[in-house]
Amino acid sequence: MSRRFRGEGQHKVDTKGRVSIPASFRRVLEANDTNWQNGGAPELVIVYGDSRRNYLECYTMGAIEEVDNKIDALPRGSMERKMLQRLFHGQSFPTSVDETGRLVLPAKLRNKIDLDAEAFFIAAGDTFQIWKPETYETEEKAREEEWLDDLPEDFDPLIFLDRKPES
């Protein structure tokens, strides 16, 4: 992955479901779309998932290709492969950024996360998420606070980078 998403932002959603993507996010989409050409529209895949998911996960073309390759490596006919295909192929929406830097979110996706006047964008490495701002504040911030409450006051999260992966 050549570039990663960083940062967050909040943007208005118009009545047609159009919402501007943070400019830095657009640069990452362009850099990770092998078919993108200067002046063109970078593509992405929005995974909306099952009923438990209350946000939209937006994958660059490079990131979704990596996921697809891992799904393809699973045994054909296995339950894991079937479920991952359903999630990443069936419960997703391929799209592109328009010439003004906006996404058009279909009503089905907006309704799924109860999105109306504002959308909250947050980077997640090689993906970014779109949330209803109030949902993000109440659910994700609460999870973050709960996690932090279990850690010592002087805890440095960088320590996780030096841990060996569990086998």
DSSP state letter for 19: E
Which one has a higher pLDDT value, 139 or 1? 139
Q: How confident is the model at residue 167 (pLDDT cuts 50, 70, 90)?
A: low
> What's the whole-number mean pLDDT along residues 121-142?
93
134 falls within a domain: yes
> What's the whole-number mean pLDDT along residues 147-158?
84
71 phi/psi in degrees, rounded to 5: -65, -45
Q: How confident is the model at residue 2 (pLDDT cuts 50, 70, 90)?
A: low
148 falls within a domain: yes
- CATH number of the domain where residue 111 is located: 3.40.1550.20
Judge contact between 119 and 128, C-beta under 8 A. Answer: no
Q: How confident is the model at residue 1 (pLDDT cuts 50, 70, 90)?
A: very low
Give 6-26 pLDDT, tens digit per residue: 999 999 999 999 999 999 999
In this predicted structure, the answer to whether residue 79 has a pLDDT above a threshold of 90 is yes
> What is the C-alpha separation between 116 and 132, in angstroms, rounded?
8
2 falls within a domain: no
83 falls within a domain: yes
Q: What is the number of structural domains in the chain?
A: 1
**Residue percentage of the chain with pLDDT more than 90:** 74
3 falls within a domain: no
Give 89-123 pLDDT, tens digit per residue: 999 999 999 999 999 999 999 999 999 999 999 99
> What's the whole-number mean pLDDT along residues 119-140?
95
Strands (E), 55-126: 56-60, 92-96, 102-104, 118-124
Its domain, for residue 16, covers 8-162
β-pair type (56-60, 43-47): antiparallel
Model's pTM, two decimal places? 0.89
* Average pLDDT value over all residues in the chain: 92
> What is the C-alpha separation between 95 and 97, in angstroms, rounded?
7
